[in-house]
Structure 1
Amino acid sequence: MLPAALPKARIYTYDWNANYFENAPVQTLLGHADTLLGLIAEGRGSQTRPIIFVASCFGGLILAEAIIRAAQEGSAYKHILLSTVGIVFLATPFQGSDAAKQARWQVLVKGIMGEQASDKLIQDLEQKHDFVHQRVQKFAEIANAKAVQLPLSCFFETRKTEMLRRILSPRWAKRLPWSVTRKILVTESSACLHGFPRQGLDATHSGINKFQGPECPNFKLVKDAGHWIVPFGRNKEFVGRESILTDLFKRVLPSGDEDDCQRTAIEGLGGVGKTQIALETAYRIRDVQPECSVFWVPAVDATAFENAYRAIGQQLKVPGIDEEKADVKALIKSVLGRESMGNWLLIIDNADDEKLLFGDTALADYLPFSRKGSILFTTRNHKLGLRLVESENHIITVKEMSTDEALKLLGKNLKSSQMSDTRSNNALLEFLTNLPLAIRQASAYIAKEQISTAQYLKLCKSSDEDMVKLLSSHFDDRHRYKNIENAIATTWLISFQQISDHDALAADYLRFLCFLAGKDIPHSLLPSAGTLETVEAIGTLKAYAFISQQNESDSYDIHRLVQISMLSWLDGKEERQEWTAKVLERLNDIFPWPKHENREEWIRYLPHTQHALQLRKRTDDEEATIGLLSKVGESFFNLGKYKEAEQIHRQALQLREKVLGKEHPKTLSSMNNLANAYLIARGNEGAEQMHRQALQLSQKVLGKEHPHTLSSMNNLAGVLDSQGKHEEAEQMHRQALQLREKVSEIR
């Protein structure tokens, strides 16, 4: 059937007699590797025709050893390795057999050969199992090496083999039920190499390389096995996202649209799990359609993009791909554009930089087109994603995990004792906003330090500084890029920098927003700018999912962890003091003096002003800080929150005494505000002392007839009256009235 499928190919078979190993060790088995290489070299002559290997059972071990020897420095067979364009392994026992734990090789060899089995080979395989395992690992390293990138697929049997009856005595065999004697001889875990495509065949072990005809489903699966370049193994810790995966799977299948090359984008905040969703999608497509080639290209920079394209060319053996002046990107675009390439999925990961894709380097110009192809992008930038796929219908937005998904992810690597506190588990996930990367980071830290989720949550809430350290802590993850820090804060720094480079106003708005409360931020609080510029800047922040806007409202929400990371970024650039001053100045300008008439306005501004004041460190503009403290204190007073009002007014008084001195009129005003709040919050006694002090200073600084002095007299009189000192209170009220009348007559 192969000559019909590959009419221009020269096809050879290499058979070895199992009986030859009756008294032969493992080394003799692997020694066939040299014989195989020699015969191939002899048959090829000086030609450099591409080679495809199909190896079954022990033949796969011989082939793996042959590849190892061809890859050795100075090997005369190096050209065979470089000419290899495909390998198919059919039930090769890379890890022995799982059929019997105590005698994995005995069961395997006798299950295959029966009475012909070599006892010497069985004993040697048992003794040298670790050696065989090491050779398999060496082969996998070579196959994965960038200079080689061998395209290979592993197939495994799914039907059970009757084997134990062949090696047991007839007396014992009759006593055993069929369910015990029938086993999978070479299981999936033994027959498949980590990180390479795998596929089950509906066959027993002995039938794994036997097909009924060209229409046999098993033959089609083997014949059509596609290419596979994915830099990560399957993420066994992946949980949830089933609705997204189901939708995505339907969209990205190359066969989904016979008239076009499909384009789909996964968008979302950095750390929300876009890459992991794309990775799981790639493996699910491989499982269902192994004939579909899958290629993975990181778009973090121009070099990474071109290197990935070069790796595709090397695996496809594209002529000229390794030449010094080769236009690698153009070559791959051309090759993947051919219908003869069959079905393929191209994953462009981290497509976040508009300048990289559409600027000088114009990487988007090198995206291939084929009606048998499909391109999947992952991006943090909605604007860029829309430009790449050209329709909102082709964009899938990924949000934070559900609580159930987040709990499963958090507990993947933790002991039950570390997650015994259900309330702390839920509180921690709420604090981390169910963000997958933050959860993985937390789980790694909890596991490493052997603490509980409750202890980790306490660390998170201890201070912003500790929270930043936790968000910035690196952890190892085999399913993420090695040259990129696997920390949520570091992940966002990339986006911060991209925004700063491309949209200065958006960057300023992000700096401003990180000082405010995270929810319901009125648009009117933002610094003024042109209408068009403002719309585009807000659009940029929404495109990166750093802020969100509910329907047509005039307010925004910003991710809490983004705020913390952004403040850390400002600290690192020594810009926090400057932006603290800018934010406080803006808030002081726009926050009105609280009255009943403007109640709706100042109530909306209050939580954001309060949050900004709590975050302030040293700032050169103390006047703006004092003004805001006074307004916030008065707001609390109007709301009946007298203790809070007293605390805020006390801060305003202390700051005014420091900046303006105790006898400045504005200091006296703050003293009166504090005394009024103190009166209601704590009682008359302390308030009387404060009002007397305020009155004395006011008389000294402003004079007895000044309006502020007269107000102080009335305030003190009110306190005295409430204490039952009615005569003194009456006398002070009369004095204040007389002075007011005198001032009025003069005017």
Structure 2
Amino acid sequence: MFLSSSETTFPRPVSLNENFVGWEGMLSQLLERLPPNTQPNACQRTVIEGLGGIGKTQVAIEAAYRFRESHPDCSVFWVLAVDMTMFEGAYREIGRALEIEGIEHDKADVKALVKKSLDRDEAGPWLLIVDNADDMLLLNEGQLMSHLPFSRDGSILFTTRNHHVAARVEARQGVHRLDQLSDSESERLLHRGLQPSQIDDAQSTTELLKYLVHLPLAIRQASAYMACRMNVTIENYLGYCTSSNQIMVKMLSKDFDDQDRYEEIRNPVATTWLISFEQISRDDPLAAGFLGFICYFEEKDIPVSLLPTGADEVQRDEEISTLRAYVFILDRGTPDRFDVHRLAHLVMRNWVRTQGKQSQQVTVIIQQLSKEFPPPKHENRSKWALYLPHVQAVLPLMDECSERERFVPSQSNVAYCYFLLGKYSKAEQIFMEVLEVMNITIGHGHIGTLRTMQNLACVLSEQGKYSEAEFQYREIFEMRKILQGHEHSDTIDSMNNLVAVLSGQGKNSEVETISWQALALRETVLGHDHPDTWHSMHSLALMLSDQGKYSEAEQMHREILALREARLGYKHPFALYSRGSHALELSHQGKQEAATQQQPKALKGFKKVLGEEHRRTLDCMYNLALYLYNVTVRLD
């Protein structure tokens, strides 16, 4: 297509968009760079790049019209480069506008004729806009590059969603990347064409724009939908989008009339991105496979290590580079983690599902997660805490997994992580799901099932569900005595756990008997210096405290604290528990000053290790406040 200074109207799709908003700073930069001869002895090349739907074509149109006004003697040509058929058709239109001899011949080499004409000095100054130059295959094998003119009196502006294109066209310093619109610009775009009754309140607008990630095409799609349905308000549309992922994808897939878009290309956001997905699948199958992983993880802070390694680490980095080039994944300022665009995340998952590959994909993902997820230990906390949101995002799809029983251990690890984080309700839910599967697959009396029952009972106890926990612990204890023997470590663990839940119900007589038995067995089987023995000592110390034997309890807690800090380190949660328990016994004996010296150290450790909202941290804060209150009252 050809825009000359003598024309007063321009054919679609390059008609002026009277409602254009945004990117004024970038337009100023473009208008400085686009004039021919800006770079001596070179044909200027400039690139506008960004995610599909971000507004690259609209910026290019606006730049073309502003450029024509300031450079009336410069010809402006527009070429759509989705495929070679469209590219050649646009070149034929340019040839007709330039009245190139032979351009209408059936066997004419249209591309060569136009290139030759624009290469000549007689062509005068020109600006060529190559829109939607996304396909690297077209640039390479299609040899689109060889058909681009090269003249010191010429300048070429490309728009692309693929960063690799910028390198291929050798734009050097002329790459301009579009990011999201500002809040005010997005609001103007959304409200365009709507009735006052549809706009509702400012909060609805803010929430919808945030949900649409300020993506111009998604905003225009929403505005067009509401403009055609005057009974639909912004609040209604927001409700549609947030009701479910399926409905959100449905809304993103709706076609809409837009005079500023190509007639040959469908408008929906989802369709725009499907084009990119298909290009990636064709050119880079491993990168497409990564999309199949990414769409099932949480959209923020995805570790690169969760992706399959492929042939080698170098190849994996190359595939990630491909996805970054299409702006489907976003940098977080660190090379080992990334985010994914939220709307693209939804469309990716729908793309996998509609291909009938969800079950297969979920199975492969869970295999990878099972392989990479570290044991849920305090020492590994930084790693499993990073992985946990992504594993949890996949777990609801376990029913899609063709080999679910193989991945029960992964679910158990996730549940135990939530237990360590103090998120007992989540831990309980997952442990119950695991237990249901294990009862069916390996049986109620299996040692693995008993271990899950014990974890579930522990979670119940932490939530104060002592009666349910006691029932579980008694059954586990009896079964372990039969299966593993009375002196087995797991059996003694069951005794300790039973002690804790009986204490919570005030059953002191039974607690005392079992506590001494458990400690005696621990010291006989494992020795006094074993960490499991310290657990039994801790349980016994708590029992002594409940009986009012504070001096004995405090002495035992002091010993456990010294042992744990020496072996595990003073920052370990068990050492922190012991410090808090020791402070409590000091308080029971009226030693409030000593207690207030110990408890802040425990509180500081809990905040750092477990977080400010963990139950242990909150308990520690409460105890410290109580000690301080008691000290104040005593001084008064």
Q: Show the counterpart of 2:44.
A: 262
Cα pair distance change 1:275/1:624, threshold 3 Å = farther
Q: How does 1:158-197 map to 2 (within 5 A)?
A: 195-196=9-10
Q: CA deviation at 1:727?
A: 2.1
8 A contact 2:298–2:389 mirrored in 1: yes
Task: Return the alpha-carbon distance in structure 2 between the equivalents of residues 468 and 616 of structure 1.
Answer: 22
Q: How does 1:343-382 map to 2 (within 5 A)?
A: 343-359=125-141, 361-382=142-163
Q: CA deviation at 1:731?
A: 3.6
8 A contact 1:409–1:440 mirrored in 2: yes
Equivalent residue for 2:503, pick from 701, 721, 735: 721
Q: Show the counterpart of 2:204.
A: 424
Equivalent residue for 2:439, pick from 647, 653, 657: 657
Task: Return the alpha-carbon distance in structure 2 between the equivalents of residues 344 and 723 of structure 1.
Answer: 87
Task: Return the alpha-carbon distance in structure 2 between the equivalents of residues 597 and 591 of structure 1.
Answer: 14
2:189 aligned with 1:409, yes or no? yes
Equivalent residue for 1:678, pick from 454, 460, 474: 460
Equivalent residue for 2:420, pick from 625, 638, 642: 638
Deviations 1:700-740 (A, max 9, x none): 65565554333223312321122121222334445556776
Equivalent residue for 2:252, pick from 446, 471, 484: 471
Task: Return the alpha-carbon distance in structure 1 between the equivalents of residues 236 and 228 of structure 2.
Answer: 13
Q: Which residue identity lines up with residue 286 of structure 2 in the other structure?
A: L
2:403 aligned with 1:621, yes or no? yes
Q: CA deviation at 1:255?
A: 4.7
Q: CA deviation at 1:645?
A: 2.0
Q: Percent identity?
A: 46
Q: CA deviation at 1:464?
A: 1.1
Q: CA deviation at 1:232?
A: 2.9
Cα pair distance change 1:697/1:471, threshold 3 Å = farther
Q: How does 1:58-69 map to 2 (within 5 A)?
A: none
Count of aligned residue pairs for this structure pair: 525
Q: How does 1:334-733 map to 2 (within 5 A)?
A: 334-359=116-141, 361-391=142-172, 393-449=173-229, 450-529=231-310, 530-623=312-405, 625-699=407-481, 702=484, 706-733=488-515
Q: Which residue identity lines up with residue 326 of structure 1 in the other structure?
A: A
Cα pair distance change 1:606/1:744, threshold 3 Å = closer
**What is the TM-score of this pair, normalised by structure 1?**
0.67
Q: CA deviation at 1:152?
A: 8.2
| Partner SS state of residue 598, structure 1 | helix
Cα pair distance change 1:527/1:387, threshold 3 Å = same
Q: Show the counterpart of 1:76.
A: none
Q: Which residue identity lines up with residue 409 of structure 1 in the other structure?
A: L
Cα pair distance change 1:460/1:318, threshold 3 Å = same
Q: Which residue identity lines up with residue 428 of structure 1 in the other structure?
A: L
Task: Return the alpha-carbon distance in structure 1 between the equivalents of residues 397 and 211 of structure 2.
Answer: 19
Deviations 1:582-607 (A, max 9, x none): 11121122112211111111111112
Greater relative contact order: 1 or 2 (C-alpha under 8 angstroms, separation 6 or more)?
A: 2
| Partner SS state of residue 105, structure 2 | coil
Q: Which residue identity lines up with residue 656 of structure 1 in the other structure?
A: M
Q: CA deviation at 1:665?
A: 2.2
Q: Which residue identity lines up with residue 400 of structure 1 in the other structure?
A: Q
Q: Which residue identity lines up with residue 237 of structure 1 in the other structure?
A: N
Q: CA deviation at 1:230?
A: 6.0
Equivalent residue for 1:331, pick from 113, 127, 130: 113
Task: Return the alpha-carbon distance in structure 2 between the equivalents of residues 732 and 329 of structure 1.
Answer: 91
2:1 aligned with 1:153, yes or no? no
Deviations 1:140-197 (A, max 9, x none): xxxxxx9xx997835xxxxxxxxxxxxxxxxxxxxxxxxxxxxxxxxxxxxx5xx33x
Which structure 2 segments of 5+ residues have no match?
528-636
2:73 aligned with 1:291, yes or no? yes
Q: CA deviation at 1:639?
A: 1.6
| Partner SS state of residue 663, structure 1 | coil
Cα pair distance change 1:269/1:151, threshold 3 Å = closer
| Partner SS state of residue 6, structure 2 | strand
Task: Return the alpha-carbon distance in structure 1 between the equivalents of residues 354 and 31 of structure 2.
Answer: 42
Deviations 1:351-406 (A, max 9, x none): 111111111x2111000012221111001111112210341x11111111111111
8 A contact 1:230–1:294 mirrored in 2: no
Q: Which residue identity lines up with residue 383 of structure 1 in the other structure?
A: H
Cα pair distance change 1:526/1:335, threshold 3 Å = same
Task: Return the alpha-carbon distance in structure 2 between the equivalents of residues 647 and 365 of structure 1.
Answer: 62
Task: Return the alpha-carbon distance in structure 2 between the equivalents of residues 642 and 603 of structure 1.
Answer: 16
Q: CA deviation at 1:693?
A: 3.3
Q: Show the counterpart of 1:5.
A: none
Q: CA deviation at 1:543?
A: 0.9
Q: Which residue identity lines up with residue 459 of structure 1 in the other structure?
A: Y
Q: Which residue identity lines up with residue 235 of structure 1 in the other structure?
A: N
Q: How does 1:317-328 map to 2 (within 5 A)?
A: 317-328=99-110
Cα pair distance change 1:697/1:236, threshold 3 Å = farther
Q: How does 1:109-124 map to 2 (within 5 A)?
A: none
Task: Return the alpha-carbon distance in structure 1 between the equivalents of residues 501 and 517 of structure 2.
Answer: 16
Q: Show the counterpart of 2:59.
A: 277
Q: CA deviation at 1:290?
A: 2.8
Q: Which residue identity lines up with residue 285 of structure 1 in the other structure?
A: F
| Partner SS state of residue 266, structure 1 | strand
| Partner SS state of residue 309, structure 1 | helix
Task: Return the alpha-carbon distance in structure 2 between the equivalents of residues 685 and 442 of structure 1.
Answer: 53
Two-structure CA RMSD over aligned residues (Å): 2.3
8 A contact 1:389–1:395 mirrored in 2: no
| Partner SS state of residue 379, structure 2 | coil
Task: Return the alpha-carbon distance in structure 1 between the equivalents of residues 17 and 177 of structure 2.
Answer: 21
8 A contact 2:20–2:58 mirrored in 1: yes
- The structure having more radius of gyration, on CA atoms, is 1
| Partner SS state of residue 390, structure 2 | helix
Q: Which residue identity lines up with residue 214 of structure 2 in the other structure?
A: N
**What is the TM-score of this pair, normalised by structure 2?**
0.78
Q: CA deviation at 1:443?
A: 1.4
Cα pair distance change 1:270/1:150, threshold 3 Å = closer
Cα pair distance change 1:744/1:345, threshold 3 Å = closer
Which structure 1 segments of 5+ residues have no match?
1-145, 155-191, 197-228
Task: Return the alpha-carbon distance in structure 2 between the equivalents of residues 267 and 403 of structure 1.
Answer: 21
